[in-house]
Amino acid sequence: MGIKMKTWRYLPYSVHTGAENMAIDEAIMDGMKNNHDAQPVLRFYGWEPATLSLGYSQSYSREVNAEACRQANIDVVRRPTGGRAVLHQYELTYSVIVPESEDNFKGTIIQSYLKISEALLKGIKAVGVSAEIVAQARSSHMGTAACFDAPSWYELAVGGKKLVGSAQMRKDGILLQHGSIIFHFDTELLFSLLKLSNEEVRQRLIKSFKTKACALDEVWTRPVTIEELERETCLGFEEILGINLIPAVLTNEEKDTSQRLVQKYSSLEWTMKR
């Protein structure tokens, strides 16, 4: 008899507000912490309305142009993970939630980034995009408040331009990593949402950003749908991690917890806490 493959729960693509998305990720994490037999989770989602997400430690008052966000109907949410600001608009977002004791993730944070990047790379290459894994951060890089302006450890790039931005946290023995696969960048909109000293600085940063980041529609050989990329990425995770993905829905406990956590993630106290 062959070795029985491990199964993960797979939560197919669904669209939520920024607060709901962060609440669902944390609710799954919370349930896993309290259930030692819980299966790891791979989840895909989108954002409606478009949302600017801040890394956990970013300063809202120093970096967010609140009036521009209001005028553009852009929500603002603070992630539980680190990193810099991301405009979630035209993208496929993934999250991986897994006990640190799981065989594929027993190593360091860097090693777990690599595993996930290898799985994502399989999916992205399968839709005809010649991405590669960036093995090391640019140590001399001085970034802006915006994510995607430089590759970091084991993230995906095309021609040196960052394609996928990810962030990870570990809490109570559970790992959460989520990230954005951008289909189209509205770079001008992104930089209008950030506080910058003047228009000259803004234009210089936009120009610089475009040399360091790319979206799928800039590098694909043919148009790709979210459904196709999701399907191929699932196959990549199954192959790289040696798992079976079983389609699932949120448990009642996860739904209840996420509804409670939405209040946190939609509160000004949380969003403006730094």
Inter-CA distances, 189 with 54, 68, 148, 242, Å = 16, 9, 14, 40
Q: Which residues contact 120 (CB under 8 A, 6 or more apart)?
A: 94, 156, 164, 179, 181, 233, 236
Active site residues: 147
Q: Are 249 and 14 in contact (CB under 8 A)?
A: no
Q: What are phi and psi of 85, to 5 degrees?
A: -70, 140
Closest CA to 237 of 248, 249, 229, 226: 229
Q: Is the peptide bond before 80 cis (omega within 30 degrees of 0)?
A: no
**Across 3-49, where does the E strand assignment appear?**
6-16, 41-47
The burial of 13, by beta-carbon neighbours within 10 Å (0-12 exposed, 13-18 middle, 19 or more buried), is given as middle
Closest CA to 148 of 85, 88, 68: 85
HSE on the CB side for 60, CA within 13 Å?
Answer: 18
The C-alpha angle 125, 80, 76, rounded to 5 degrees, equals: 85
